[in-house]
Amino acid sequence: MRNLIGIEDFSKEEIDELIEVSKDIMNNRAKYSEMCKGKILATLFFEPSTRTRLSFESAMLGLGGNVLGFSNANSSSTSKGESLADTITVVSGYSDIIAMRHPKDGAPLVASMKSKVPIINAGDGGHNHPTQTLLDLLTISKEKGHIDNLTVGMCGDLKYGRTVHSLVNALQMYENIKFVFISPNELKMPEYIKDTLESKNIEYLETNDLEESIPNLDVLYMTRIQRERFSDMSEYERLKDVYILDKAKLKNAKEDLSILHPLPRVNEISVDVDDDEKRAAYFRQAENGRYMRMAIILKLLKEESLKSNKKEENVAENNEAKCSNERCITMVERGIKYLVTKCSDGNVRCGYCENKI
């Protein structure tokens, strides 16, 4: 079965093809309008969402398919104590493809081991968000005309922000990308991501100064401080408004800077930036999600019978390898098998959440 658990499940060629298909869908909607006739997408959202869930549903409806699902864990049997594995076993008998969002890191990998149909990770805890990354790449490609040779700034909550984790993993497949990671010390990019960049000799800079960084950037990816992931609320209160991008801060920015944000925004981008029609790309980015998700659904349904999922191929069972990350799915799911991944940087990590074992 072909799943989308992490962005590494797709090769660069496949990602480029998804971008081209998305662009074709935008321009030729009628051609695609019946391609999923008779198929059912289940959207299982154990965590809040506006864009991701609705754009998935809009995507399936635009392909002539149907949708079912829940948007709140409290309205599912999870609230009665049902395991994720059982929920997925059952729902995969009611649907042809499943898009799921879950508060625990690694939950979609657990789901893919039980499911009879393709699983799409629509965000797992503070870990990954590969479909957001694909629409981010589509946006960069449309806004800038290319994805190679860019200096990309990522600003805000780089520790818990799952969108930036997947985006770094994807952008490192492209030529000559330089990263500037802008965050407070408490919310830096996780070591496991920086380790892979180092092992591939990819340039990155860490700073906490947004204003000083802006003039060098081709893309600025702003993120929300992820309130729901903090165990200490006083820390969240202290950090929540640490970066606010406004018109004045863009004074020395490149003319063709693209400002992205996965949304929802809280205070990170002041509304006066919205008037900067050319550079403020975040609402165009959200709309791109609909077309990219159509392309993803088409691809996974077409390749349902193929057996290849890099994320699954690289992991091995190891019952000694208990993970210590409190946000990992292994902390809550009953009867789970511990998995390890041997990474290119030589470290052994939890197969679900990538925490060092």
**Residues in touch with ligand NCD (CB under 6 A):** 51-52, 123, 129, 132, 162-163, 224, 262-263
Q: Order across the sheet with 258-260: list the strands.
A: 204-207, 177-182, 150-155, 219-222, 258-260
Active-site option among 52, 151, 196, 341: 52
- Contact (CB, 8 A) for 216 and 180: yes
Stretch (H or E) spanning 102: strand 97-102
Place of tokens 């100064």: 209
- Residue 31: Cβ-neighbour burial (10 angstroms; 0-12, 13-18, 19+): exposed
CB of 162 to ligand NCD, least distance (A): 5
Whether 227 sits among the annotated catalytic residues: the reply is: no
Whether 53 sits among the annotated catalytic residues: the reply is: no
* Cβ proximity to ligand NCD, 162 vs 290, nearer residue: 162
* Cβ proximity to ligand NCD, 193 vs 340, nearer residue: 193
* Cβ proximity to ligand NCD, 94 vs 283, nearer residue: 283
* Cβ proximity to ligand NCD, 242 vs 339, nearer residue: 242
Return all residues near 36 (Cβ < 8 A) that are at least 6 apart: 60, 63, 64, 65, 297, 298, 301
Active-site option among 2, 39, 53, 101: 101
Active-site option among 2, 39, 43, 51: 51
CA 210 – CA 242 distance, rounded (Å): 10
CB of 178 to ligand NCD, least distance (A): 23
DSSP for 258-302, please give it.
EEE--S--SSSB-GGGGG-TTTB-HHHHHHHHHHHHHHHHHHHHH
Whether 162 sits among the annotated catalytic residues: the reply is: no
* Cβ proximity to ligand NCD, 71 vs 92, nearer residue: 71
Whether 52 sits among the annotated catalytic residues: the reply is: yes
Closest CA to 158 of 243, 224, 235, 241: 224
Whether 261 sits among the annotated catalytic residues: the reply is: no
CB of 149 to ligand NCD, least distance (A): 26
CB of 122 to ligand NCD, least distance (A): 7
CB of 113 to ligand NCD, least distance (A): 23
Cα–chain-centroid distance for residue 323?
22
Return all residues near 276 (Cβ < 8 A) that are at least 6 apart: 247, 250, 259
* Cβ proximity to ligand NCD, 210 vs 315, nearer residue: 210
- Report, in this order, helix, strand and coil percent for the chain, each rounded to 5: 40, 20, 40
CB of 163 to ligand NCD, least distance (A): 5
CA-to-CA separations, 72 to 45, 46, 98, 208, in angstroms, rounded: 6, 5, 15, 35
Active-site option among 39, 127, 129, 194: 129
Which residues are known to be catalytic? 51-52, 80, 101, 129
